[in-house]
Chain A
Amino acid sequence: MITVTDLRKVYRQGDRTVTALDGVSLSVPKGSIHGIIGHSGAGKSTLVRCLTLLDRPTSGSVTIDGRELTAVKDSEIRAARRRIGMVFQHANLMDSRTAAANIAHPLELVGTKKSVIDARVKELLALVGLEGSAGAYPAQLSGGQKQRVGIARALASDPDVLLCDEPTSALDPGTTDDILDLISELTRRLGLTVLIITHEMNVVKRICDSVSLLEAGRVVEHGPLREVASDLRGRLAKQLIPLPVTPPSPGGPVLELLFTGQTTSDPVLSALTRRFDTDVNVLAGSVELLAGTRFGRLRIQLDSHTDMAAVHEYLALQGVTVEVAA
């Protein structure tokens, strides 16, 4: 379990100060995957550096499994860091070491016996599906394979927490999915708590249980994926289930509908036309699978003579969230 409380980081640049993190709070339950999404400059990199203590936060605390990381003395930082495995955007492998030697690196640091290291490296290579590439140098591996080595290295010291900083931002879409599935599978198998920092909504859609939207150093929206996706007014929902922009169309009222779970497979619209004897014009729509639940969003236009109050009441009864579009 990771808890971040009111984390602030202020940098001094000459005589002006830059507030990179302005009171960030997060809570990630053990065994779950939390996504932190934001544009560049939102403070994602600073957050990572504070979580790994590469930078000391100005104030606030980071707690992992009840132990406060930010209270650790400088001399104990190294032991504290070993409880966090970190995966980087560009893998950051040592070019002079083979895949196996890269994975062995964290173990060498604490003087693990060679026979123990060898066995563990073999196990980790198998875990990430790279049994055949032990002797390959990073330059001989593809981007996805490098990231697998990076993940194996991050897991070498048996951490409780896996911190992924843009783990797939340098990969093609197919490889991205493979790496995300690997992270998701490892999370379940090893009972890890995972924090993924990303600017790609696809990453959140595919594997996150919960998400925070970071903006200008602040968390502006957060919650379990289902909740944020159901909030039609929310910005995360708009990005999670995007609808194309449609030009204003003359005629009847325009509604935005959100279907969740079971209602996505109900023929709500055709029932609506029959019941109210109206025509429904679908302006835009999309369906997404988020955290195992199907979400559908539709923008529809009705006849101007339709009894809107009754329509609202009917749709609410069907479990559809309705929003009158501007």
Chain B
Amino acid sequence: MNFLTGLFDNPGITKALPEAVIETLQMVGISGFFTLLIGLPLGVFLHVSAPGGLLPMKIVNRIVSDIIVNITRSVPFAILMVTLIPLARLITGTSIGPVAASVSLSIATIPFFARLVENALRDVSGGKIDAALVMGSTRMQVVTKVLLGEALPGLVAALTTTLVTLVGYSAMAGIVGGGGLGRLAYNYGVQRFDTQVMVVTIIIIVALVQIIQLAGDFVSRRVDHRSATGTGRRSRPAAAAEGISPDAAPAGTAREPDKAQV
């Protein structure tokens, strides 16, 4: 009951919290954007260059898949983040703040997202690709019109998972200089024993993850026409099949990465 006492007088909540929320959103937003921008093509490349793919490139695929993607993914994020501080300074000119933290966040989640994209694309049946090739598609047209279009529900789900992971990573990044909710919880909750701030921060992070997941699930269902009982109705215009839902803020679409992030 004394939890609520002075809740709105606590400077940790009235002053530091709004700032921290914005910083967290910045980190998730910026790194989410770059993850989509680089991770999606990387995932497509992993898929098409694999043996038996549209454009098999055995050696290059091996290098990118086994070396770059797997090595990056096997380094724990806390260590990767510290290792990448010089790179962040090189790119952004600073090693602290949400923008600098976004560099290491992006590098950590790009391979993760690329693997999820690769898996989502693998679910597109070879028969559909054959059909597209027989009707005279170029390889690029197969990628844009068949692979991405057919895997869209899976891609949206992959992006949702990635954004949720980013929220978690951003809290860790906050502690070593990124700012945001992680930093707030650590400074107030751990160092000052301010349980009030700690609890409120946790509630906000949980709410943020819920919102991302719910929005992602919603969009994923919206673009999924694979079952007759889905939300795709007969009366829906053909454009719906393309999955352009500009009002769906966090998840965005695979086709238009620039619209994906707010």
Contacts and interface: CB of A to CB of B under 8 A. Distances in A.
Interface string A78-95: 110110101010101111
B134 A97 contact: no
A96 interface: yes
A90 B127 contact: yes
B46 to A, nearest CB: 21
Nearest to B236: A135
Interface in B202-237: 223, 225-228, 230, 232, 234-237
A78 B138 CA distance: 7
A76 to B, nearest CB: 11
B259 interface: no
A90 B130 CA distance: 12
Nearest to A159: B135
Contacts of B125: 92
A101 B130 contact: no
Interface in A96-145: 96-98, 100-101, 105-106, 108-110, 135-140
Contacts of A79: 136
Contacts of A135: 234-238
B145 interface: yes
Interface string B134-154: 111110010001100110100
A78 B238 contact: no
A94 B127 CA distance: 10
Contacts of B228: 137, 139-140
A140 B135 contact: no
Given A95-B226, A97-B149, A137 B241 contact: yes
Contacts of B138: 78, 109
A246 to B, nearest CB: 43
A139 B230 contact: yes
A105 B242 CA distance: 13
A96 B243 contact: yes
A33 B101 CA distance: 66
B124 to A, nearest CB: 9
Closest 10 CB pairs of A and B: A92-B131, A106-B135, A137-B225, A92-B127, A82-B136, A78-B136, A86-B134, A139-B228, A101-B238, A96-B149
Interface of B: 125, 127-128, 130-138, 141, 145-146, 149-150, 152, 223, 225-228, 230, 232, 234-238, 241-243
13 contacts: A78-B136, A78-B138, A82-B136, A88-B131, A92-B125, A94-B128, A96-B150, A101-B241, A105-B145, A109-B135, A109-B145, A137-B232, A153-B135
